[in-house]
């Protein structure tokens, strides 16, 4: 992979700010208060030091402001936002800064990671202060960012492709060196992390490894188990490149020898996957894809699943998922991972999926590796 890093342009900044402000104008929002530890902060500021800052004040007109709690900002490099405010930790200061941009209309509030108000003390306290300052004019505005962030620009797609190349490299290494019985999950993690960071991963990564007997589906970081002979394991890759995460996940047989049980589940998975893929077209809704997959589940007596995939991009999920209750309209240039789960009543089976970008004329595979052919080869030859 190229060692030269790809950086976002000022044109990309201007595009993002313009689209966010268009949505703000429609909602009559004068200013947005965006909490730290939030993908929206990175989207606005183009930083990878979200932990170092707490909030961004983003006005409908004027220059945004980064607010830091008791930290020296001079060592921080931010090409997109040059205004910093250093505060002592009292959240009424944030409200006072926001008021500089307030013209009597609404004030947008982003709650942080989509988890709602009160998921930690700082967020809950800030919300109270903002509500006191702006009362009924304070409105939740997460959906405005979600709508814009769901669609990837050409520069964002480039980051997703570079993330996908890291996925390809990591999976190839695992297949060549890490599927033997007795392999420790910590060793797999160490190898994959080295590939991540040697090839541009910037710290926003996900790696899940779940060993089990023909496969205990679940999420868990490595915890000291060895791959068992005759079993399988799930491994999910989501390395970040400039914060943008593509995603692949596969159930892999230990020793590259697939059991009859896993093969049977993979064949059902293929049926569900391809039916879902046929529905992944511009103009459909996320729930249309989910209902098509659910029909396959019902055919084989498999229980209801909450989701069969989701958007990918800056952070994971992007505010929408392939679920029977999500009516998000599929639009051009929306990145997505499709990953049905096919399990029995004991939660044993297959969890696999791969990433695409929705285009007007069909799906574009992210990255250079054809994972559909890979799954087919596993079923027929392993």
Instruction: Please say if the pLDDT value at position 170 is more than 80.
Output: yes
pTM of model > 0.85: yes
| Average confidence (pLDDT) over 239-250 | 89
pLDDT of residue 378: 93
pLDDT of residue 119: 41
Burial class (CB in 10 A: 0-12, 13-18, 19+), 78: middle
What contacts 37, CB < 8 A, 6 or more positions away? 50, 51, 112, 113
- CA-nearest of 162, 160, 164 to 151 is 160
pLDDT of residue 90: 65
pLDDT of residue 77: 64
> Could you give the domains of the chain?
10-149 (3.40.350.10), 154-381 (3.90.230.10)
What contacts 281, CB < 8 A, 6 or more positions away? 330, 358, 362
294 versus 67: which is more confidently predicted? Answer: 294
Cα–Cα distance for residue pair 74/212, rounded to 1 Å: 49
Residue in the block written with tokens 């890759």 = 237
pLDDT tens profile 340-378: 998 887 777 898 999 999 999 999 999 878 999 999 999
Residue in the block written with tokens 């910037």 = 202
Between helix 260-279 and helix 286-299 the angle, nearest 10°, is 150
Mean pLDDT estimate for the chain? 84
Q: Could you tell me the two tokens for 312?
A: 């990918």
pLDDT tens profile 257-287: 999 999 999 999 999 999 999 999 999 999 9
What are the C-alpha distances in Å from 140 to residues 77, 117, 136, 256? 29, 10, 11, 49
Cα–Cα distance for residue pair 113/125, rounded to 1 Å: 17
Q: Distance of alpha carbon 183 from its chain centroid, rounded?
A: 29
pLDDT of residue 36: 66
Report yes or no: 6 and 158 within 8 Å, Cβ to Cβ: yes
CA atoms within 13 A on the CB side of 22: 8
pLDDT tens profile 25-54: 999 999 999 876 567 888 888 876 555 456
């Amino acid at each position: 992979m190229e060692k030269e890093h790809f950086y976002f342009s000022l044109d990309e900044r201007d595009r993002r700010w313009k689209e966010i402000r268009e949505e703000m104008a429609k909602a009559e929002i004068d200013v947005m208060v965006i909490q730290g530890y939030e993908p929206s902060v990175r989207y606005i500021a183009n930083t990878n030091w979200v932990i170092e800052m707490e909030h961004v004040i983003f006005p409908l007109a004027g220059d945004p402001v980064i607010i830091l709690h008791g930290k020296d900002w001079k060592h921080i490099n931010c090409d997109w936002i040059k205004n910093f405010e250093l505060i002592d930790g009292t959240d009424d200061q944030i409200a006072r800064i926001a008021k500089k941009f307030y013209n009597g209309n609404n004030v947008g509030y982003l709650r942080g990671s989509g988890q709602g108000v009160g998921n930690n003390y700082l967020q809950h306290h800030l919300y109270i202060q903002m509500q006191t300052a702006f009362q009924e004019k304070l409105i939740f505005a997460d959906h405005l960012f979600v709508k814009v962030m769901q669609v990837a620009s050409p520069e964002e797609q480039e980051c997703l492709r570079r993330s996908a190349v890291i996925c390809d490299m990591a999976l190839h290494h695992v297949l060549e060196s890490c599927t033997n019985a007795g392999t420790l999950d910590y060793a797999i993690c160490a190898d994959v992390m080295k590939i991540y960071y040697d090839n541009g991963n910037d710290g926003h990564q996900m790696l899940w490894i779940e060993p089990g007997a023909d496969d205990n589906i679940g999420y868990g970081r490595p915890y000291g188990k060895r791959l068992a002979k005759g079993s399988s394991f799930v491994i999910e890759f989501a390395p970040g490149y400039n914060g943008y995460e593509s995603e692949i996940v596969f159930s892999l047989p230990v020793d590259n020898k697939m059991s009859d049980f896993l093969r049977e589940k993979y064949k059902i998975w293929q049926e569900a996957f391809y039916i879902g893929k046929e529905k992944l077209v511009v103009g459909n809704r996320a729930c249309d894809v989910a209902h098509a997959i659910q029909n396959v589940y019902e055919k084989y007596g498999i229980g209801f699943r909450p989701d069969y995939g989701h958007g990918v991009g800056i952070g994971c999920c992007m505010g929408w998922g392939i679920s029977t209750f999500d009516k998000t309209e599929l639009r051009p240039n929306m990145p997505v991972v499709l990953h049905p789960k096919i399990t029995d009543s004991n939660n044993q089976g297959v969890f696999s999926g791969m990433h695409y970008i929705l285009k007007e004329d069909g799906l574009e595979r992210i990255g250079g590796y054809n994972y559909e052919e890979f799954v087919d080869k596993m079923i027929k030859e392993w």
